[in-house]
């Protein structure tokens, strides 16, 4: 289940809630009981490669003269 981050406008507390995507825009109450909250936008960075797999090594050519290198 996705986690969403919220900030309370009344007390300034930042908190997270796990809820279904269908409820992502539903109002959230902060742990202190305040109802004036706003959902924050989260930046997610994904990178790397999967273990046990490898991409094939690039082969020469493509884009230059003489098969990828420049001739003198």
Say if CB 68 and CB 62 are below 8 A apart. Answer: yes
The pLDDT of residue 26: 92
Examine residue 54 and state whether it is found in any structural domain, yes or no. no
Closest to 28 measured CA to CA, from 42, 39, 40: 39
| Residue 11 pLDDT exceeds 60 | yes
Examine residue 50 and state whether it is found in any structural domain, yes or no. no
Examine residue 28 and state whether it is found in any structural domain, yes or no. yes
Q: Give me the number of domains the chain comprises.
A: 1
Read off the pLDDT of residues 32-42 as tens digits, 9 standing for 90 and up: 999 999 999 87
Residue 6: alpha-carbon gap to chain centroid: 16
The pLDDT of residue 42: 75
**Domain hosting residue 14, numbered range:** 3-39
Examine residue 20 and state whether it is found in any structural domain, yes or no. yes
Examine residue 53 and state whether it is found in any structural domain, yes or no. no
DSSP secondary structure, 25-69, as one string: TS----TTS---EEEPP------S--TT--PPPPPS-SSSTTTTS
């Amino acid at each position: 289940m996705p986690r969403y981050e919220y900030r309370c406008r009344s007390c300034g507390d930042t908190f997270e809630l796990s809820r279904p995507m269908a409820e992502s825009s539903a109002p959230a109450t902060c742990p202190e009981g305040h109802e004036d909250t706003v959902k924050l936008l989260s930046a997610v960075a994904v990178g790397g490669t999967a273990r046990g797999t490898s991409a094939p090594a690039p082969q020469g050519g493509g884009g230059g003269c003489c098969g990828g290198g420049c001739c003198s």
